[in-house]
Chain A
Amino acid sequence: MMRLQLPRAGRSGYGAPAVGAGLALLVLLPLFGASRYWLVLGMQVWVLAAYAYSYQLLFGRAGMLSFGHAVYFGLGAFAAAHALNSRALAAMGLPVEMIPLIGMLAGLGAAVVFGFPSTRRAGTPFAMVTLGIGELVAACFLMFPGFFGGEAGISTNRAALGGWVAANYGAADRAYVLIALWALALGAMALWIARTPLGLLARATRDNAARLAFCGIEPSAVRFRLMLVAGALAGAAGALSTLLNEIVSVESVSLAMSANVLLMTVVGGPAHAFGPLLGALTLTLMQSVLSRFTHAWVFYYGLMFILTVLFAPNGLTGIVSDVLRNARQLGAGGMARRYGAPVAAALLAGLLAIGTIEIAFFRDEGIGAARVFPAWGAAGLSLGCLAALLWLRRSLRGLA
């Protein structure tokens, strides 16, 4: 009997033990004496990664480009905040570990309501409907301050409820472990879904929805089911964000939040198992660390997104796995010979471009590079940048 290679979405190829050990190290970050700031940043990465994993199911698997995913994330976050503040739930002894389940239910409920009108269509119309629904829900938030706390949002305290494992999760290190484990579980669920029959049908709808219908399977039903799953996972991720921030405000459902998850997923790699994690890490570092050095961080982030769309459709994880694959074939020396010149040229061009931008725009503010370089530096750097770009082009030709 013939052996079929069965579908395995999200094969890492890095060796399961190594991946497991790495993840365990990440989860146990607090044991290594990470300060509160790094823990909070870490939690942010986990929350965003969980959110991005839910989005990857839609965009990466089924090609559903949603501009309103924050609806599910935000409603999950609000449900979690209300649950944390609810005396009735506290009296019933709801442990804080179960809060993400509340968010999951809220996300699922929202997906039942909004999923139907949006998943009837695919492609560009789907993108437009989700955009409309996203704007709709965001606008509603300010209209019903009774439910959503108005612009101030809803404050809560993650230590308000007791826990099963720890007495409470007020301290950052305990909260970190809770959030990391939940995020891992959510990511695993998303990857699991990709490997189920639903995941297979998701890829089929992306490839050719019309053909799927002629096979007897309604593509809009597949999209709807995916939306339910993705909505539930996003809702749980939203609940994690409530546990982290202890406040939920309108920004949780905003277009910016919807855009963030799209950016993370694309930059990280829309199809790779580690794409969302890497995307979340990149966004968090740029938003929280790079933003301390330059006002232009959003510009760099947008530029990075565009470059990814243009030149690396498989995102950063795509680049990494390409490099690893080539490295195995070529060895260190071969890699250096082959990629040394283009990488050096790209790095140089990038650095010079950043320098030019910093000097040109922050002259009168005197921040960043503008502090050290004189005004004419910008002109010099931009010329250098141009030269580096030409060099890059030449070395890329050499590659091809």
Chain B
Amino acid sequence: MDFIFPAALNAISYGLLLFMLAAGLTLVFSLMGVMNFAHASLYMLGAYFAYSIARQAGFWVGLVAAPLLVAGLGMLIERHVLRHLHARGHIPELLFTFGLVLVIEEIVKLVWGLGAVDYRVPPELRGTLFEAFGTRFPMHKGFVILVALASLGAIWWLIARTRTGLVVRAALANPAMVESLGHDVGRIFTLVFGLGAGLAGIAGAVGGAVLVTEPAMAAHLGTIIFVIVVVGGLGSIKGAFIASLLIGGLESVLIAIDVRLSDLLMPLKGLSSGLDAVLALKASQLAPILPYLLMVAVLVFRPRGLFGEREV
């Protein structure tokens, strides 16, 4: 118990951070059918923008301004590139966002350098929130949870309670219908893409300060959020939420468990010497591949994902 509890809190904090990214990706995918490879790159830009703004104007200004910048950038990308590619199908869109990943990473390296930048939470967030089971829970992790809940709540309100949200929801269900009702579907696409990008920007502005802001941060998170979106079920926000916490928690839990596969399979001992290398692995060493195993398994056995309404 003494380390399961902090591990659980960590998992929630990390899982919510992942969810901020996965939610935007899911939203964009369900509306436009575009799997935005560069979503994690927008997260990285959020962190770097926030870092640069924070150095001039302070952390809190950066926290607000950086996501707005990223959202604007996302809208520009949608408006001026993706929309034109849309006619040619999803593969060119996928290829374009993939190329964007490369280019954004290189731009970040050229502008901000190859190493990590010193982007940290401000002193007022550096303390301890509370102490339980002999471990301190740092305030900045609580802050992540707070920001994630607040921004997701705002998105929920926007979509569920406003007129624009109503049109967005209608467009999600049936874009042709919305078009025929005289709404500009193109504008809705741009808006939603900007919203997703903005969420990634917020996640970056917060995540970069709490974790680390470096050129590799996009690559590290990029594939994980795909796993989440697929495992949760493409297009399902609820699924993305559960999968975020699941994958976020998986790592913490596996690290906490000190078992080797050979211990689990004791009864089968002597089955095969060829498997020794596999059996000698500790659960924590399996942590990096488990999400991918999960993703492949889901796609093979339950293509809709855990909560998806339609097949991937």
Is A298 an interface position by the 8 A CB rule?
yes
**Given the complex of chains A and B, what is the CA–CA distance between A295 and B114 in angstroms?**
11
**Given the complex of chains A and B, what is the CA–CA distance between A210 and B277 in angstroms?**
43
Provided the pairs A117-B300, A121-B303, A266-B95 are in contact, do residues A131 and B100 lie with their beta carbons within 8 angstroms?
Answer: no
**Given the complex of chains A and B, what is the CA–CA distance between A310 and B227 in angstroms?**
27
Instruction: Point out the residues of chain A lying under 8 angstroms from B289, CB to CB.
Output: 135-136, 139-140, 143
Provided the pairs A125-B303, A132-B227, A301-B102 are in contact, do residues A309 and B95 lie with their beta carbons within 8 angstroms?
Answer: yes
Is B178 an interface position by the 8 A CB rule?
no
B292 A361 Cβ-Cβ under 8 A: no
Shortest C-beta distance, A246 to chain B (Å), equals 25
Listed from nearest, the 10 A-B pairs whose CB atoms lie closest are A302-B102, A299-B106, A306-B99, A302-B103, A125-B312, A136-B292, A361-B110, A132-B295, A139-B289, A305-B99
Residue from the list A117, A123, A124 in contact with B296, Cβ < 8 A: A117
A313 B103 Cβ-Cβ under 8 A: no
Shortest C-beta distance, A131 to chain B (Å), equals 6
A310 B277 Cβ-Cβ under 8 A: no
Provided the pairs A128-B226, A306-B103 are in contact, do residues A296 and B110 lie with their beta carbons within 8 angstroms?
Answer: yes
A128 B295 Cβ-Cβ under 8 A: yes
Is B173 an interface position by the 8 A CB rule?
no
Besides A123-B90, A309-B95, 12 new A-B residue pairs in contact (Cβ under 8 A), listed by A number: A120-B303, A128-B312, A129-B299, A131-B226, A132-B295, A133-B292, A133-B296, A135-B289, A147-B277, A255-B223, A303-B103, A361-B110
B102 A298 Cβ-Cβ under 8 A: yes
Residue from the list A65, A303, A357 in contact with B95, Cβ < 8 A: A65
Is A144 an interface position by the 8 A CB rule?
yes
Residue from the list B102, B223, B230, B277 in contact with A305, Cβ < 8 A: B102
**Given the complex of chains A and B, what is the CA–CA distance between A188 and B7 in angstroms?**
56
Residue-wise, chain B 208-231 has the 8 Å CB interface mask toward A (1 for contact) of 000000000000000100110010
Instruction: Point out the residues of chain B lying under 8 angstroms from A131, CB to CB.
Output: 223, 226
Shortest C-beta distance, A299 to chain B (Å), equals 4
Residue from the list B102, B285, B292, B300 in contact with A143, Cβ < 8 A: B285
Shortest C-beta distance, B38 to chain A (Å), equals 11
Shortest C-beta distance, B51 to chain A (Å), equals 18
Shortest C-beta distance, A134 to chain B (Å), equals 9
B292 A135 Cβ-Cβ under 8 A: yes
B102 A124 Cβ-Cβ under 8 A: no
Ordered by A's residue number, 30 sampled pairs between the chains whose C-beta atoms are within 8 Å are A65-B94, A65-B95, A117-B299, A117-B300, A120-B300, A123-B90, A124-B90, A125-B230, A128-B299, A132-B223, A132-B295, A133-B292, A136-B292, A136-B293, A143-B277, A143-B285, A147-B277, A262-B95, A296-B110, A298-B106, A299-B103, A299-B107, A299-B110, A301-B102, A302-B99, A309-B92, A309-B95, A309-B99, A313-B92, A357-B110
Instruction: Point out the residues of chain B lying under 8 angstroms from A299, CB to CB.
Output: 102-103, 106-107, 110
Shortest C-beta distance, A320 to chain B (Å), equals 20
User: How many of chain A's residues have a CB under 8 angstroms from any CB in B?
Assistant: 40
Is A63 an interface position by the 8 A CB rule?
yes
Is A146 an interface position by the 8 A CB rule?
yes
**Given the complex of chains A and B, what is the CA–CA distance between A361 and B108 in angstroms?**
11
**Given the complex of chains A and B, what is the CA–CA distance between A305 and B111 in angstroms?**
21
Q: Which chain B residues numbered 128 to 184 have a C-beta less than 8 Å away from chain A? A: none
Chain A residue nearest to B84 in the complex (CB): A310
Is B122 an interface position by the 8 A CB rule?
no
A146 B277 Cβ-Cβ under 8 A: yes
Interface size class of B (residues with CB under 8 A): 35 or more
Residue-wise, chain B 94-127 has the 8 Å CB interface mask toward A (1 for contact) of 1110111011001100110000000000000000
Residue-wise, chain A 294-322 has the 8 Å CB interface mask toward B (1 for contact) of 01101101110110011001000000000
Is A127 an interface position by the 8 A CB rule?
yes
Instruction: Point out the residues of chain A lying under 8 angstroms from B110, CB to CB.
Output: 295-296, 299, 357, 361
Is B257 an interface position by the 8 A CB rule?
no
Residue-wise, chain B 268-312 has the 8 Å CB interface mask toward A (1 for contact) of 000000000110010001001100110110011001000000001
Chain A residue nearest to B219 in the complex (CB): A255
**Given the complex of chains A and B, what is the CA–CA distance between A332 and B31 in angstroms?**
49
Instruction: Point out the residues of chain B lying under 8 angstroms from A147, CB to CB.
Output: 277
Instruction: Point out the residues of chain A lying under 8 angstroms from B303, CB to CB.
Output: 120-121, 125
**Given the complex of chains A and B, what is the CA–CA distance between A219 and B281 in angstroms?**
39
**Given the complex of chains A and B, what is the CA–CA distance between A127 and B303 in angstroms?**
14
**Given the complex of chains A and B, what is the CA–CA distance between A3 and B303 in angstroms?**
45
B91 A65 Cβ-Cβ under 8 A: yes
**Given the complex of chains A and B, what is the CA–CA distance between A313 and B93 in angstroms?**
12
Residue from the list B81, B107, B293 in contact with A310, Cβ < 8 A: B81
Q: Which chain A residues numbered 208 to 267 have a C-beta less than 8 Å away from chain B? A: 255, 259, 262, 266
Is B246 an interface position by the 8 A CB rule?
no
Shortest C-beta distance, A389 to chain B (Å), equals 14
Shortest C-beta distance, B48 to chain A (Å), equals 15
Shortest C-beta distance, A240 to chain B (Å), equals 26
**Given the complex of chains A and B, what is the CA–CA distance between A171 and B285 in angstroms?**
42
Is B85 an interface position by the 8 A CB rule?
yes
**Given the complex of chains A and B, what is the CA–CA distance between A26 and B33 in angstroms?**
44
Shortest C-beta distance, A166 to chain B (Å), equals 37
Q: Which chain A residues numbered 34 to 80 have a C-beta less than 8 Å away from chain B? A: 63, 65
**Given the complex of chains A and B, what is the CA–CA distance between A136 and B223 in angstroms?**
11
Instruction: Point out the residues of chain A lying under 8 angstroms from B44, CB to CB.
Output: none
**Given the complex of chains A and B, what is the CA–CA distance between A361 and B288 in angstroms?**
35
B288 A127 Cβ-Cβ under 8 A: no
Provided the pairs A309-B92, A361-B110 are in contact, do residues A139 and B288 lie with their beta carbons within 8 angstroms?
Answer: yes
Shortest C-beta distance, A169 to chain B (Å), equals 32
A132 B35 Cβ-Cβ under 8 A: no
Instruction: Point out the residues of chain A lying under 8 angstroms from B292, CB to CB.
Output: 132-133, 135-136, 139
Shortest C-beta distance, A223 to chain B (Å), equals 14
Residue from the list B94, B106, B278, B281 in contact with A127, Cβ < 8 A: B94
Shortest C-beta distance, B149 to chain A (Å), equals 28
Instruction: Point out the residues of chain A lying under 8 angstroms from B102, CB to CB.
Output: 259, 298-299, 301-302, 305
**Given the complex of chains A and B, what is the CA–CA distance between A306 and B106 in angstroms?**
14
**Given the complex of chains A and B, what is the CA–CA distance between A49 and B102 in angstroms?**
22
Instruction: Point out the residues of chain B lying under 8 angstroms from A295, CB to CB.
Output: 110
Chain B residue nearest to A129 in the complex (CB): B299
**Given the complex of chains A and B, what is the CA–CA distance between A151 and B281 in angstroms?**
17
Provided the pairs A117-B299, A136-B296 are in contact, do residues A128 and B35 lie with their beta carbons within 8 angstroms?
Answer: yes
**Given the complex of chains A and B, what is the CA–CA distance between A123 and B93 in angstroms?**
12
